[in-house]
Amino acid sequence: MEFIEAKTILQRAAHGTEWFGIDYNMNLYKGCCHKCIYCDSRSNCYQVEDFDRVRAKKDEIEILNQELRNKRKKGVIGIGAMSDTYNPFEKQYEITKKALELISYYKFGVSIETKSNLIIRDIEIFNEINKKADVILKFTITSADDNLSKKIEPNVCVSSERLKAMRQLSEQGLFVGTLLTPIIPFITDSEENIRNIIKLSYKNGAKFVFSMGGVTLRENQREYFYKQLDKNFPKLKEKYIKIYGNNYFCYPLNKNLSKIFKEECERYGLLYKMNDIIKSYKKEAKQEEQQRHLGTIIYICYHILALTSIPTIDIEPHKFKGARSWLTVLL
């Protein structure tokens, strides 16, 4: 594997904390060899030449160590946006593993998206991070059928293997879920497929399923996608050209899919809205939510007591900074 020069590893998240609550972002590898037919990272705008060739960065663990040490604000670090960090080379070089050990040491959180079951190798590190920070682990599942999965994501383990890995992580108490994205028109957009992915996610310990709808196509990626359609799905390219033209977003024609997605997630008690997912896995957000609920309960109890003849301590709630301190006085 080739090693390339790098000045920095860690960047501030481009869109704030909107994407799964991440504060920082990093890609430990450049390029990806999974050869997923739909990958938007192949697009020219990202300027990754020879995208199928995986490269690592020289001295990146040393650079990351320095950057983490100098960060005043802790936060969640997103890994895997542009390149799956659990590619086949990771098994030998363990760059991701070393990075996770640093993240744990400096008490940062982590958010990973992957299609590889190699992630289970690092369960112990995730458990350590989870004791002091936030952890969210996401598996991309686009098809419930392994044969179809192998066609559209040929160089990585099939969906059933990812789901097994999901279960193993979930059984450790880690916050895991599914990225049901993209939904590829005329390939993975059947109602049966959507229902099955949600059902299988639930059975394998997912806490959430998140979807962004259709597939994205732009310069370079569009050509690659069409080439794969010609190879594996004859005559489908012509259908795309006729219906979508040069559209960037290509959404499924079945407008009922959104309703089905929502209904199925609610049936299995799975989160599917971004804000709810973030609130559920982030410790600080959960504590704030609990504090608000506790404050409401105490406020109601105080006024109930005030309306009864039961003797009470003369307390003015607004004088107490926190709900817990007020509860202590009441009790």
- To which residue do tokens 């705008």 refer? 45
Residue 306 has pLDDT above 60, yes or no: no
- Quick: pLDDT tens for 49-67: 999 999 999 999 999 999 9
pLDDT surpassing 70 at residue 48 = yes
Confidence of residue 308 (pLDDT cuts 50, 70, 90): low
pTM of the model: 0.85
- The identity of residue 304, as a single letter, is I
Q: Which two tokens stand for residue 124?
A: 């112990």
**Is residue 113 within a helix (H) or strand (E), and if so which, with residue range?**
strand 109-114
pLDDT reported for residue 241: 97
Instruction: Check whether 42 has a pLDDT greater than 60.
Output: yes
Nearest to 29 by CA among 77, 89, 76, 72: 89
Residue 16: the pLDDT is: 65
| Of residues 44 and 288, more confidently modeled | 44
Domains, in order of start, for the chain: 2-281 (3.20.20.70), 288-330 (no CATH)
C-alpha angle 228-138-175 in degrees, rounded to nearest 5: 165
- Identify the DSSP state of 36: -
The residue among 33, 32, 37, 252 whose CA lies nearest residue 150 is 37
Q: Which residues contact 79 (CB under 8 A, 6 or more apart)?
A: 25, 26, 27, 28, 85, 96, 99, 110, 111, 112, 113
Local confidence band at 304 (pLDDT 50, 70, 90 cut-offs): low
Q: Please state the rounded mean pLDDT for residues 163-171.
A: 98
Residue 224, C-beta contacts closer than 8 angstroms, at least 6 positions apart: 37, 42
Closest by Cα among 213, 187, 210 to 36: 187
What is the per-residue pLDDT across 86-139, written as a single tens digit (0 to 9) for each? Answer: 999 999 999 999 999 999 999 999 999 999 999 999 999 999 999 999 999 999
Question: Out of 16-25, 173-182, 272-281, which region has the weakest mean confidence (pLDDT)?
Answer: 16-25
Q: Which residues share a beta bridge with 2? A: 55
Helix (H) / strand (E) containing 287: helix 283-307
Q: What is the mean pLDDT of residues 269-287?
A: 87
Q: Which two tokens stand for residue 11?
A: 């960047």
- pLDDT, position 302: 54
